[in-house]
Every structure is written in C-alpha cells, then in structure tokens.
Structure 1
Amino acid sequence: MSQVPERSEIDTEDTWDLTSIYPDDEAWEDAYESINGRIEELRAYEGRVTEDPETLLELLELQEELLREVSKVSSYASLRSAEDTRNQEYQAMSAKAESLASATQSAVSFLEPELQRLDESDVESFVESEPTLADYEHYFDDVLRMKPHTRSAEVEEVLAELGEVAGASSDIYGMLSNADMTFPTVERPDGESVEISQGNFTKLQKHPDREFRREVYEQFYDEWDDVRNAVGTSLKNSVRKDVKYARARNYETARKAALDGPNVPVEVYDTLVDTVHDNLDSLHRHAELKRDALGVDELRMWDLYMSMTGDEGPEISYERATEYIVDAVAPLGEAYQDRVEAGLDSRWVDVYENRGKRSGAFSSGTYDTQPFILMNYQDDITSMFTLAHELGHSLHSELAKDAQPWQYADYTIFVAEVASTVNETLLTHHLLETIEDDELRMHVLDEYLERFRSTLFRQTMFADFELRIHEIAEDDGALTPDRFDETYRELKAAFYEPAALDGRIDREWMRIPHFYYNYYVYQYATGISAAVAIVERILEDGEDAASAYREALALGGSEYPIDVLETAGVDMTSSEPIESAIAVYDEYLDRMGELLDQ
C-alpha cells in the first residue's frame, strides 16, 4: 500500500534548514521573550510622531528593528507548523507568534494616523532637515495616499488588535483541510492501494485509467460534502470580515479596499474578467481538443486534469527537475542562474509530502533569512513546474533584498506572480527547444497548456466567483453552502461549456484555500499575462530585456506595482497583455493539435 510517510521518515537533505533562522526551539523562545519585552518601547512615541524629524526617524528605525525580529519569530513558527499541522507544540508556537505580531502592530498603530497630519510640504521640510528620511519618501507618499481610509489612532489600534482573530476563518479552514480531514484509500488498477490526499489528488486525476479517476474524484468530493456546513460557515465569515473591514475604512466595497492597498486600479480587475470571458472560446477549444484526444464521447470533470497524451507522463525526479530549471533560467543572466543553483544546494526546499504537512506549495522567508520553499513533490512534470514557480518567488525576494532597504524589500502579490510565471514560461521554452524525447516534449507542451488553463482561465473564474460572493454579502444577501454551489456552478458551466458537469463539482469551491486571501487569486491571471509578454521580450531582445526585468524585480516595493511592471516593459492597465497571452495559448493549442494528428 502506498502511504504518505511521517515527517521522521523524510531524509534530512530533503527538508529545509530552519536552523538557519534559530538553532533550536529554545533560541526561538528567547527571541520571542526578548521582542515581547520591548513592544512597549514603541508606545513611548505615541503623540510624538511629527514632533520633529529626528523623533520620526528614531521611531521608524525602532519599528524596523522590532518588526524584523518579529518576522523571524513568525516565520520560524509558521514553517515549523507547516511541517506537520498535527503537531500541537508548533501550533501553539505559531499562535504565540501571531499574537506577538498583532501586539507589535497594535503598539505602533498610531504611526500612520499621526503621519497623516502632515501634508506633502511638511514631509519635504522634514526630509530637508533630516536627509536620512529621504529613504522613506515612497513610504510617506503611500501613507498620505491612504489618508481618506485611515481612522483615528484609537480605532487603528483596535483594528490592529483584531488582526489575530480576523484570520480565524482561514485558520479553522486550514486546520480542517490539512490536519483533521482524512481522505479514503482507493485501489489502483494494478491492485496497489493508495490514500487520497490534498497533495496527490491532482496527480491521481492524471491516471490513465478513467474508471480509477472517476472513483478518486467521487470519493474526494464526497469527503468534502461531509464538512459542507463547516466550510460554508468558514467562508461566509471570511467574506463578511472582508466587507466589514472595508466599511470600517470608508471603502464602498471589499474589492476596492483590497486593490487600493497595493494601488492597483479596480479597472485592472474588470479588464481581466471581461477579456477572459470574451475569449472563452479558446478554453472551449482546449476542452474539445482534450475530449477528442482522449477518445471520449463527453469530457467529464474527472478528465479535466488528464494529459492529452493519454497517460500520466514520464516520471521526473526532483534531481532531474532541478537540472532542467537551472538550465532554463539561463536567459535571465549568469548571476541569476548561479543563485538558483546555490539555493537548491542550500536546503531552501522542503521537498516531499509527509503526513500532516501543509498541502500545496509556497515560498517564504524574511529580510534576514534565506528563502524557504514548501513542496509536496510528486516526481512528475507538474511538480517540476511548481518548483520553478516557487523559485521565481524566492529569487525575486533575494534580488529585492540585495537592492532595497528593509522598508522596500517586500513586494505585492501583483508583481510576485509575474516572477514565478516567468520561470515557468522559460522552463517550457527551454524544454521544447532542447529535449529530444518526443514523449516528454508532448507532455511538456500539455503541461504548459494546463498551466495556462489553470492560471489564466481558472484563476479568473475564481476571481469572478470571489467578486460575486462578496457582492452578495455587500447587498446583505445570505451566503449559504447552497448559494456558494449555485454561484460556482454557473461559472463552471460557462468556462467549461463543452464538458459535462455533475453535482460534485459544484462544491469545488470548498477545496480552494485562496478564497480566504481577500481578492488574491486574480493576480495569478494578471501575472501570467505579464510574464508571457516579458519572456517574449527576453527571447527576442536578449540581455537588454533581461536586464530590464531584473531591474523590475530589484525594485521590490519601492514603487507601485503598475510602475514596476512598466519598468519591465508591460502595461497592465490595458487588455493587451491578456490578449497577447491568450494568443500564445492559441498558438500552443495549434502545436498540440498538430502533434496529436501525427
């Protein structure tokens, strides 16, 4: 029987090295106590922020000192918790870290309301008197921009203190889906038993035996049906939290509040949704091509992940995947390539799935640590592309930290999802141009088409769903599991018109953790659009375009995201990058159709 291993069964070299943050849990506890004892130092500046330039600089530097250490404390606890979500000790550490972060933010919540007493001329005068404050000019601009949506110091403190409990819906959902839910064991066609998990569900949906795929699909979604009311209540409260926080900050909608944070115009969201809806014929063409390739009368939901080649595809070991990825990023420059290779050799990556491990994948880390990448590697092409994706995030962070001071090293998700998808696109191009194995080439092409489908189209469908359920809440409508089902099914039917829907797919919304991230998912779709445009420029113009792209990554958060992408040569306020990406998708569909005909 194929079972998910325990954490203790994973080889050390295949795990990330958290001792690079703290050597052990005792050191973490010491850091926690130290920072907890210093939080009150921040409160000493309340009422004095604009007293004089020197006082303001003192506070900003103290805030940086404390928040950098809080970030390390939070990162260590969160990563330990992700290793095994069943471990109560690390769950407790993570909760303590969240409380510490919330308390620190609360202690300095007066800063921005007091800063907003200044106007632009006051800020210029402060900078002239204390030149070091020039390092914060973009920060000051951002703070003053948010003046209409910032409340009094007292209200801001309350909102900051509520940050810990405001994430309760997401925390509960995460524990339910990652730790408490146990999925059935099914028998493969060869007689081997395999336990379904969040990590392997998609891989199992790529098995060539259609009846096996159907059984996995049905048992997986039947398990979700057993927690239907719990997940529905969790998502309802998460949406209502978004709405109430937006209203507390004088925004008309939760979407405007979410997009105003990174200063992304709402029109960017609408343009994405409208442009994708206008081009659903391309997605329908993909579905029809897959139906014909699989030789089925109608495409069912358990066929969607199946390769058009008709089989699961060749195994790609983790070691082989890293070789392909390092070679693929060569167009981004030797220094970028060397850094990817060094990171892979330095235990950035927690490679394989283990029982209780958080599902999915992510890249994490702080200004003062190395990157940390969580994987649930499955020895397949999809996992290889996911690794390339997360390495894009990690290298983005490294380049931004190299070039920027702490206050600008972080960057918005809007830009982050470009960096990750550039790596995926370069990997596709490299493999299609260099490998001689025809079977692997076809699977690579199929994988990229699938990632296009799931990133541009599927994430836009998610974004539309997210918008619709928030609008229901904003109109004081009832958000029930039935309403979620109805809304989701309507979109699924439009996006997958050539396929046959069934009742189980209506509840797919239940397994998507990103719906708890407050208008997050649309950025995957804008990200792939920008990434395709950037890669096209790099492949055509060479080092000049690569240099512009690296410059954009190095900007971190020192400019607004729309301006950062303009540095890389992409205008995301127009529909052009989205239409261009869909044109590339159509071109790859043509190539796949030709290969299938052969």
Structure 2
Amino acid sequence: MSSVPERGEIDEQYKWDIDDIFTDSDEWEAAYTEAESLIEELESYESDTTNDPETLLDVLKLAEEMMRTVANVSAYARMRSDEDTREQRYQALSTRAQSLASSAGSAAGFIEPDLQSLTREELDDMIEAEPDLEQYEHYFDDVLRMKPHTRSAEVETLLADLSEVTGAAGEVYTMLTNADMEFPAVDDPNGEPVRITLSNFTTLQKNSDRAFRQTVYEAFYDEWETIRNAVGTAYKNSVTADVKSARAHHYETARAAALDSANIPPAVYDSLIETVNENLDILHRHAELKRNALGVDELQMWDVYTPLTEGESPEVPYEQATEYVTEAVAPLGEEYQSRLAAGLDSRWVDVYENVGKRSGAYSSGTYDTQPFILMNYQDDISSLFTLAHELGHSLHTQLTSEAQPYIYGNYETFVAEVASTVNETLLTHHLLETVEDERFRRHVLDEYLERFRSTLVRQTMFAEFEHHTHEIVEDGGALTPDRLDELYGDLKRTYYEPAVVDERITREWMRIPHFYRAFYVYQYATGISAAVALVNQLLNHDTDTDKYLQFLQSGSRAYPLDLLRETGVDMARPAPVKSAFSTYEEYIEEFEQLI
C-alpha cells in the first residue's frame, strides 16, 4: 500500500525549524508566563489611556509588547499541533495559546474605545506634544473610522472573551477532518491499494485512468456524507457567530463587517462576482476544451481536475522546485531573489506530508521570527506552484517586518494574495520561456489554466456561496445540510454549465476549510487579478521593481486599495478582473493551438 510516513521518518532538512521561536517547552512556558504578566500590567491602565500623551504612548508600547509575545506563543503552539494533529500534548498547548490570545484581546479591549473618545484635533495635539506618537497616525485614523462600530470597553472586553467560543466551530471542523476523519483505501490502476487523504485527493483526481478517478471521487464524497450533520452544524454555528458578531458591532451584514476591517467597500465584492459571472463563457470554453481533450461525451465532476495533457504531471522533486522558483523571481531584483534562496536554505519550509499533519499549505511566522511554510509537497507541478505561492507570502512578511514598525508590521489578506500570485505568474512565464521539454511545457500551461479556473473563478463561486449562506441566516432562515447542498449545487451548475453536476459534488462545501474564516476567499480572485496586472506591468516595464518592492514593504501603513493604486492597479474598478479573464482566454487559445 502507498503509505504516508510518520513524522519521525522524515529527514530534518525537510522540516521547518520551529526551534527558531522556542528551543524547548521551558522557553515556551516562560514566554507564556511573561505574556500573562504583560496582560495584567496592561489591564492596570484601563480608563487611563488618554490622560496625557506620555501615558498614551506607554499604553500603546505595552500593548505591542504583549501582542508580540502572545503571537510567538500562539505561532509555536499552532505549528507544533499542525505537525501532527493527533498529538495531545501540542493540542493542549494550542488550546492554552488560544485562551491566552483571547485574554490579551480582552486586556487591550479598552484602548480603541478610549481613543475614540478623542477628536482628531485632540489626537493631533497629543502627537505634537509627544512626537513618538507620530508613527501611529494611520492607526489613529483607522480607529476613528471604526468608531460607529466599536462598543464600550466593557462590551468589547466581553466580546473578546467570547472569541474562544465563537471561533470554536472552525476548531471543531479542523480536528474532525484532520485528526478523526479517515478516508478509505482504493486500488490504483496497477492494483495497488492507495489511501485517500485530504492532501492527495486532488492529485488522485488528476490520474489518467478515468475509472480510477471515479472510484476515488465517489469514495471521497461518500465518506463526507457520513459526517454530514456534524459538518453542517459546525458551519451553521460559524455563520451564526459571524452574523451575531456583526450585529453586536452595528453592521447591517456580516459581509460588511468582514470587509470593513480592511476598508474594502462591499461594492468591490459585488463587482467581482458580477464581472466573473459575465465572463463564465471563458470557463465554459475551458471545460469544453477539457471534454474534447479527454474524448468523452460528458465532462463529469471526476474529470474536472484532470490535466489537458497526456499522463500524470512530470515529476518535480522538491530540490528542483526550489531552483525553478528562485530563478523565476529574477525580475523582482537580486535582493528579493537572494532573500528567497536564503529562506529555503534556512528551513522555512515543512515540506512533506506525514501521518496526522494538517492538510493544505500556508505561510506563517510572526513579526519577531523568520517566516514558516507548511507544505504537503507531492513532487508534482501543482506543488511547485504552491511552493511559489507560499514563498510570496513569506517574502512579503519578511520585507514588511523589516521595513515597518510593529503597528504596521502585518498586512491585509487583500494585498497578501497579490504577493503570492505574482510569484505564481512569474513562475509560469519563466518555465514557458526556459524549459524545452514540450510535455513539461504543456503541463505548465495546463497548470496555469487550472490556477485561473480554481483561483479566479472557483474562489468567486465560493465567495458567492458564503454571501448567500450569511444572507439566509441574516433573514432568519435555517442552514440545514439539505439547504446547503441545494444552494451549492445551484451555483455549481451555473459556474460549470458544460459539466454534469451530480449529487455527490453538492457536498463539496463540506470540504472547504476557508469557509470558517468568512469572506476571505474572494481575495484569492482579486489577488490573481491584481497580480496578473502587476506582472504585465513589470515585464512590459510599465512599472519598476522598486515600486513593487515598496508595495511589499508597506505592510498596513495604508489601506489595501490605496497601496495597490500606488502600483498602478485599481481594484475598485472591474478592469483588472476583466484583464485577468483576457489573459485566461489567451492561454486557452494557445493551448487549443497546441492540441
């Protein structure tokens, strides 16, 4: 049987170096204790924040020290738990860290209501009296902007205390699907049993044997049916928590609340969905191309991931992948390229799947640590692109942390997905220009077409789904598994019109973990649109590398739409999304000519 190794069987060079945060549990415990002391100290300032400029500065600095310590404690615990979700010891650390973060949020809950008791003129006077407050200018503007949606210090503290509970649905979902759920083994085309996992499902769906793909597809979604009520209940509670939290902060909708944190108008979300729906004929053209390439009468759901190319993906060992990505980012300058190479040599990446490891991929780390990347690398082109994607996040994190003070040392997801997708787009250009093997080139082109399908279109479909699910709850309706199946199935039929939408695919909503972070996924679609526009500008010399690097170094010093406008991309208009569809169509035409 094809088996996933235990973590201890994987060489250390392919594991991230979390000892960079804490060398052992004693250090972690010491940091945990320090954070508790900082929380207690900050609580002593309640109601005194705005007494005078010096006190305000002291409170802000103390809150930053507390949050930095809590971030390190939380990151370590979460990543250790993600290494093997079955490990009770690290589950316990993660639970304690979540509780600590909730306490820290509660302790800091009085700061913004206190600031909102001041006028802009009073804050300006404080800055004039204490120049070190000047770095908080944009932060102060943002706090005052949110005044209509900020409750009293007492209420904000209570809501922060409840965050552990209101976020429980996502935690339950993660443990259920990663630690408890086990998919069956099926025989591969050679008669060898292979275990289906969350990480390898998509890879198995790319197998050239159609009967095998169907077997995997049916076994996978039949297993989801066995936990249908549990997942349905988790998602219903997650949506309900979003709605109640939004109402507690005087928002009309959960979507408005989620988007307002980054000052993104709901019109941007609506424009994305509208523009994508207007261009679904390009997705349908892609689906028809796939049906013709496969030589089938009907495109089934187990055909959707199948490559347009012959056979499975060419093998791309991890070491080769690191070379490709490093070479691909050369247009971003020598400094960016050398930083990326150094990160790969510094064990940023936890490379391979192991038993119990969290599925998927992400980039993590804190203001005070090196970046960390979780992968489940599968030695294929898809994993190569995922590596490029996550490295984009990691370099963004590193450049921001070095260039900005802590208050702006993070960045909104809206711009994060631009940085990651720029790397994917550059990788595509590099591989198509430098790799001579025609089979490899066709696979690269097919992979990038799939990125358009899954990132630009599929994520927008997800965004439309969550918008509707939250509207149902906001209107007093019930989110039952049957209703969710119906809603998801209707969207699937609209988006994938040329394909057969069967009963099993209507359960696909159950396997999307991002739904537990509501109104997040649309940013993948806006991200790829902005990234394609930026790469076109860079390669055509319509913008320079320094301007893009300044964007990566900006953190949250300004709002996302404004930061992107400084690069020449305006995501408040439909033009970048339309342009992305034009590029998508150009690649489809190129592939049509190849076959």
**Which of the five TM-score ranges fits, normalised by the shorter chain?**
over 0.9
CA distance in 2, matches of 1:363, 1:187: 34
Letter in 2 for 1:309: T
CA contact (8 A) 1:243 1:470 kept: yes
CA offsets per residue over residues 182-232 of structure 1, 9 Å max, x none?
A: 000011111221100000000000000000000000000000000000000
Letter in 2 for 1:318: Y
Structure 2 counterpart of 1:547: 546
Task: List gaps (5 residues or longer) in structure 1.
Answer: none
In the TM superposition, residue 517 of structure 1 has moved relative to its aligned partner by 0.3
Structure 2 counterpart of 1:559: 558
In the TM superposition, residue 115 of structure 1 has moved relative to its aligned partner by 0.5
CA distance in 2, matches of 1:480, 1:545: 51
Please report the RMSD computed on the Cα atoms of aligned residues, expressed in angstroms.
Answer: 0.7
CA contact (8 A) 2:348 2:371 kept: yes
CA distance in 2, matches of 1:33, 1:402: 27
CA offsets per residue over residues 309-360 of structure 1, 9 Å max, x none?
A: 1321211000000000000000000000000000000000000000110000
Superposition TM-score, scaled by structure 2 size: 0.99
Letter in 2 for 1:525: A
> Equivalences for 1:180-329 in 2 at 5 Å?
180-329=180-329
CA distance in 2, matches of 1:568, 1:373: 27
Structure 2 counterpart of 1:48: 48
CA distance in 2, matches of 1:322, 1:570: 29
CA distance in 2, matches of 1:569, 1:502: 43
> Equivalences for 1:371-410 in 2 at 5 Å?
371-410=371-410
Letter in 1 for 2:575: E
SS in 2 for 1:271: helix
Structure 1 counterpart of 2:170: 170
Letter in 2 for 1:333: G
CA contact (8 A) 2:206 2:307 kept: yes
**1:87 has 2:87 as partner:** yes
CA distance in 1, matches of 2:38, 2:116: 26
CA distance in 2, matches of 1:575, 1:409: 29
CA distance in 1, matches of 2:544, 2:172: 44
Structure 2 counterpart of 1:509: 509
**1:593 has 2:584 as partner:** no
CA distance in 2, matches of 1:304, 1:317: 25
> Equivalences for 1:492-531 in 2 at 5 Å?
492-531=492-531
CA distance in 2, matches of 1:404, 1:197: 40
**1:578 has 2:581 as partner:** no
In the TM superposition, residue 37 of structure 1 has moved relative to its aligned partner by 2.8
Letter in 1 for 2:549: R
CA distance in 2, matches of 1:381, 1:568: 30
> Equivalences for 1:530-541 in 2 at 5 Å?
530-541=530-541
CA distance in 2, matches of 1:405, 1:420: 22
CA contact (8 A) 1:551 1:567 kept: no
CA distance in 1, matches of 2:313, 2:35: 50
CA distance in 2, matches of 1:215, 1:335: 48
CA offsets per residue over residues 9-29 of structure 1, 9 Å max, x none?
A: 111110000100000112111
CA contact (8 A) 1:545 1:568 kept: no
CA contact (8 A) 2:2 2:194 kept: yes
Letter in 2 for 1:591: E
In the TM superposition, residue 514 of structure 1 has moved relative to its aligned partner by 0.5
Structure 2 counterpart of 1:78: 78
CA contact (8 A) 1:551 1:568 kept: no
CA contact (8 A) 1:422 1:535 kept: yes
CA distance in 1, matches of 2:271, 2:35: 45
Letter in 2 for 1:7: R
CA distance in 2, matches of 1:385, 1:275: 26
CA contact (8 A) 1:81 1:87 kept: yes
CA distance in 2, matches of 1:423, 1:545: 16
CA distance in 1, matches of 2:241, 2:247: 10
CA contact (8 A) 1:529 1:577 kept: yes
CA distance in 2, matches of 1:7, 1:26: 23
Structure 2 counterpart of 1:453: 453
CA distance in 1, matches of 2:289, 2:38: 62
Structure 1 counterpart of 2:359: 359
Moved over 4 A (4+): none
SS in 2 for 1:311: coil
In the TM superposition, residue 264 of structure 1 has moved relative to its aligned partner by 0.5
In the TM superposition, residue 38 of structure 1 has moved relative to its aligned partner by 3.0
SS in 2 for 1:518: coil
CA distance in 2, matches of 1:501, 1:271: 26
CA distance in 1, matches of 2:107, 2:566: 36
CA contact (8 A) 2:435 2:441 kept: yes
Structure 1 counterpart of 2:21: 21
In the TM superposition, residue 34 of structure 1 has moved relative to its aligned partner by 2.1
Identity of aligned residues (%): 63
CA distance in 2, matches of 1:162, 1:154: 13
CA contact (8 A) 1:388 1:420 kept: yes
CA distance in 2, matches of 1:471, 1:43: 38
> Equivalences for 1:327-338 in 2 at 5 Å?
327-338=327-338
CA offsets per residue over residues 162-189 of structure 1, 9 Å max, x none?
A: 1111110000000001000000001111
Letter in 1 for 2:588: L
CA distance in 1, matches of 2:14, 2:88: 23
SS in 2 for 1:497: coil
CA contact (8 A) 2:38 2:62 kept: no
Letter in 1 for 2:43: R
> Equivalences for 1:27-66 in 2 at 5 Å?
27-66=27-66
CA distance in 1, matches of 2:140, 2:518: 25
CA distance in 2, matches of 1:63, 1:49: 11
CA distance in 2, matches of 1:529, 1:511: 25
CA contact (8 A) 1:184 1:219 kept: yes
CA distance in 2, matches of 1:33, 1:10: 33
In the TM superposition, residue 364 of structure 1 has moved relative to its aligned partner by 0.1
In the TM superposition, residue 508 of structure 1 has moved relative to its aligned partner by 0.2
